[in-house]
Structure 1
Amino acid sequence: MQIAGKRAIVTGGTDGIGLEIARLLQSKGARVLVCGRNAERLEQARKAGFDAVSADLSTAEGCAGLLAELQGEDIDILVNNAGMAGNFGPDDPLDLNFTDKAIFLNLNAPMHLIGSLLPQLKSRPEATIVNVTSGLAIAPRGGGPVYCATKAGLRSFTQALRHNLKDSSVHVVEALPPVVDTNMTAARDGNKMSSAECAAQIVAAVESGRDEANVGMVKILQLVNSISPALARKIMIRF
């Protein structure tokens, strides 16, 4: 895809991977709208030249509000990046309120946006949908069952959607990041990829028309999973 001149929407685009994707798309000539929930970050995004909309995509009302803002837009790129995680160990209670919000934000919201915006996307000469899942969509970790389940669900949805749109002008990309240095992973130790490098690999996949952006160490996980899914699960469950 030629990014220059395109209209792009990036959910969760005021921080972390989403912000870096937005910056990179903007630097390549796209007009970018970001959405988020933090008023200060939204104002910073506006000062950086982005259109910015306040939207809580963990609710159907928040999705409807964003879609109302996009009425009449010619949209070429939709990046479903907004997400939330949470750790649930063996002795932790399962917070069902949090679980419902995470399921909606991570899985339902992309479906709401895609379902509503697909006619506009199909009308464009070329368009791209990017669904940001995770290496954990391939094999889960024990400490994040809800997050892993939603990302695995989005991965399956993305693969089926790509098949259904194969004869259209809309290309569907799945981005699978590893552990990235963001606010979401601030409490985690170990090596983390920078948000900027993760975004660069995702945008490169959009430009080259690849179906998947297996970012960083996810390339190795994909290789292990292709040889032995059981081994991949055994490695990742303790990750």
Structure 2
Amino acid sequence: MQLDGKLALVTGGTDGIGLEIARQLKRKGADVIVCGRREDLLAAARAEGFDAIRADLSNADGCQALVNMIAQRPLDILVNNAGMSGNFGPEDPLDLALTDQAIFLNLNAPMHLIGQLLPGLSTQPEAAIVNVTSGLAIAPRAGGPVYCATKAGLRSFTQALRYNLRHSKVRVIEALPPVVDTAMTRGRIGGSKMSAKECAAQIVDAIESNSAEANVGMVKLLKMVYSISPALARRVMIKF
């Protein structure tokens, strides 16, 4: 896909991986709309030249409000990046309200946005839907059961959607990051982490090259292990 002159919407685009995706799309000539919830981050995004919209995608009304705000703009690229972790592990009590919020933001919101925006995307000469899942969609870790479940669900949805749109002009791309240094992982997941900038670069490259998947960083190794022995991949990742 030629990115110059395209219009992209990046959800969760005011911080972390989303902001880096937005920056790199913009550098390649795309016009980029980002959305988020924090006014300070929205203001910072506007200062960088982005069209930044306040949107709460953890509920259906928030998704509809965002769609209404961009309804008259011919979107070429939708990047479903917004997400949250939910609960963090067996030592934490299961907060059902937080769980419901995470399920909607991570899984339902991409479906809502795709359902509403696909008719417009389908009229473009070329278009792309990018769903950001996780390496944990392949094999879960005990420290994030809600997050893993939502990302696995989004992975399954993305694969089926890609098949359904295989004869259309809309490419469906799944991006599977490893552990990335973002606000969500700081202080919660230790060890080596990929930078958000490098992660975004591999995702944007997948958009440009019309790849079906962007297996980012160590996810390439995880997929190889899983292809040989799913049980081994699950044993390794559950304690990660």
Fold match (TM-score > 0.5)? yes
Please name the residue that 2:5 is paired with. 5
Looking at structure 1, the residues matched to 71 and 168 of structure 2 have their Cα atoms a distance apart, in angstroms, of 22
Looking at structure 2, the residues matched to 90 and 49 of structure 1 have their Cα atoms a distance apart, in angstroms, of 42
Does the alignment pair 1:24 with 2:15?
no
What runs of 5+ residues in structure 2 fail to find an aligned partner? none
Q: CA shift at 1:73, angstroms?
A: 1.1
Does the alignment pair 1:166 with 2:195?
no
Residue identity (%): 71
Q: CA shift at 1:72, angstroms?
A: 1.3
Please name the residue that 2:121 is paired with. 121
In the alignment of these two chains, the number of paired residues is 239
Does the 8 Å CA contact 2:87/2:98 hold for their aligned counterparts? Answer: no
Please name the residue that 1:69 is paired with. 69
Looking at structure 2, the residues matched to 49 and 89 of structure 1 have their Cα atoms a distance apart, in angstroms, of 39
Does the 8 Å CA contact 2:133/2:177 hold for their aligned counterparts? Answer: yes
Please name the residue that 2:210 is paired with. 209
Kindly report the root-mean-square deviation, in angstroms, between the aligned alpha carbons of the 2 structures.
Answer: 0.7
Which consecutive aligned stretches of 4+ in structure 1 deviate over 2 angstroms post-superposition? 86-92
Q: Which amino acid aligns with 2:234?
A: R
Does the 8 Å CA contact 2:87/2:95 hold for their aligned counterparts? Answer: no
**Equivalent residue runs for 1:98-177 within 5 Å:** 98-177=98-177
Q: CA shift at 1:92, angstroms?
A: 2.3
Does the 8 Å CA contact 1:33/1:51 hold for their aligned counterparts? Answer: yes
**Equivalent residue runs for 1:179-194 within 5 Å:** 179-187=179-187, 188-194=189-195
Looking at structure 1, the residues matched to 32 and 227 of structure 2 have their Cα atoms a distance apart, in angstroms, of 36
Q: Which amino acid aligns with 2:108?
A: N
Q: Which amino acid aligns with 2:115?
A: G
Looking at structure 2, the residues matched to 116 and 129 of structure 1 have their Cα atoms a distance apart, in angstroms, of 12
What runs of 5+ residues in structure 1 fail to find an aligned partner? none
SS class of match (1:162): helix
Q: Which amino acid aligns with 1:218?
A: V
Q: CA shift at 1:94, angstroms?
A: 0.5
Please name the residue that 2:44 is paired with. 44
Q: Which amino acid aligns with 2:121?
A: L
Looking at structure 1, the residues matched to 179 and 225 of structure 2 have their Cα atoms a distance apart, in angstroms, of 17
